Amino acid sequence: MRDHGGDLDRARAVYGGGDWLDLSTGINRLPYPMPDLAAEALTALPLGRDIAAVEKAARAAFGAPQGCECLALAGASAAIQLVPRLRAPGLARVLGPTYNEHAAALRAMGWTVEEVATLDALDDCGVAVVVNPNNPDGQRHDPDALLAVAGRVGLLVVDESFADAAPELSILPHWGRLPEGARAVVLRSFGKFYGLAGLRLGFALSHGPLVDDMRRMAGPWAVCGPALAAGQAAYADTVWQAATVARLAQDAERMDRLAGQAGWSLVGGTTLFRTYATPDAARAQDRLAQARVWTRRFPYSDRWLRLGLPGTEAEWRWLTRAMA
C-alpha cells in the first residue's frame, strides 16, 4: 500500500478544517532559516556551478570520501524512483517493515519484491534495500554489517534519510572499505532534518558510473534554485546542526515521557519521530485527531502509532492537552 504521512487533506476531510498540528511525518518542525535568495534563484534556470556547489557541500557534510560521487535530486523520493532503472528487473529484497515507497517503485518497474526480516535474508538478490535508521521502528544497523551485505548482493541501496542526527550509522565515511566489486547507492534527504521538505532536495551517492546513469535519467535541472541556495547554506552551518542534534535528542526523551504517561510503550524511532505500541492505534489516532493533532498509522499493525516531534512550546502544550 502506497500510503504516506503528511496527508492532512484526508484528516481535514474526516475531522474538519482549521489549524492542525501535523505530526504524521518525521520532518523537523523548527526548520533551518531560509537564506536570502538572489533574484536569479527564482528567475533563472539553475546553473551547473550551483548544482556542483551543493553536491560538494553535501559530500563534505556526509563525510563521503573521494571515489564516492554525489547527485542532487528533488528529494530522496526522486532517487527512489531512479534506483529500479539502474539494473534489469529481477529479484529485489527489502528489509522490512519499512518506508513503503521502495517496494512500490521497484514493483512499478517490473521487479519481484520480497520483504525480509534480517540482513542475512537479503543475500543473493539483484537489489537489496535497507533503511538506516529505519522508518518507522528506528532499527539501526552497524556500517560494517551493511558493507558485508554489499558484497553478497547485486546492488545495495541504503536509505539514510534520517541519518543526519545519527552520523555514526552512515556507510559513507567507510566507502573505501566496500568489498571489491560491490556496488552500493546511498540516499540522503535534506528536508527532514533541516525541516524544509517543501524545497524537495535530496541526494544519491554512489560509484561514478552509477551516478552518471542517474544524472542522465534525472535530466539537466533536477533541483530548483531556492533548494540549491538553502542546501549550500545549511550544510555549511555546523553550529545550527550541532544545536539541532542536541535539541532533538532532548525532545525525543520528552516525547517518550509524554507517551509513557498515556500508557504507550516505545517501539523505536529516531530523534525526528517516535513509534509507540498503543492498545488501539485507530482509537488513539482518532482521539488525537479530535484535538486536531494528526499522526501516522500503519496498515500492518493495529497497535503502532508514529508521531513526529512538536517544535515550539505552544505545539508541545497542544499535544500535551490532546493526550491528557
* E strands present in the chain: 21-22, 69-73, 91-95, 112-116, 127-131, 155-159, 184-189, 202-206, 265-269, 273-277, 293-294, 296-298, 301-308
Residues of the chain with pLDDT under 70: 1
Three-state DSSP class for 193?
A: helix
Please state, as a whole number, how many other Cβ atoms lie within 10 Å of the Cβ of residue 291.
15
Torsion of CA 252, 258, 263, 264, to 10 degrees: -20
> In angstroms, what CA-CA distances link 161 with 39, 189, 282?
30, 5, 27
pLDDT of residue 106: 98
Three-state DSSP class for 174?
A: helix
Which helix (H) or strand (E) segment holds residue 259: the answer is helix 238-261
DSSP 47: P
Cα distance between the two ends of the chain: 32
Angle at 237 between CA 232 and CA 239, to 5 degrees: 170
- The amino acid at residue 211 is V
Distance CA 256, CA 274 (A): 8
Three-state DSSP class for 120?
A: helix
Distance CA 204, CA 186 (A): 6
- Report pTM: 0.96
pLDDT of residue 4: 87
What's the burial of 206, exposed, middle or buried (CB within 10 Å: 0-12/13-18/19+)? Answer: buried
Three-state DSSP class for 274?
A: strand
C-alpha cell at 303: 497497535
pLDDT of residue 267: 98
What digits encode the pLDDT tens for the residues 4-32?
A: 898 999 999 999 999 999 999 999 999 99
pLDDT of residue 247: 98
Taking 3-state DSSP, the helix, strand and coil percentages for the chain, each rounded to the nearest 5, stand at 45, 20, 40
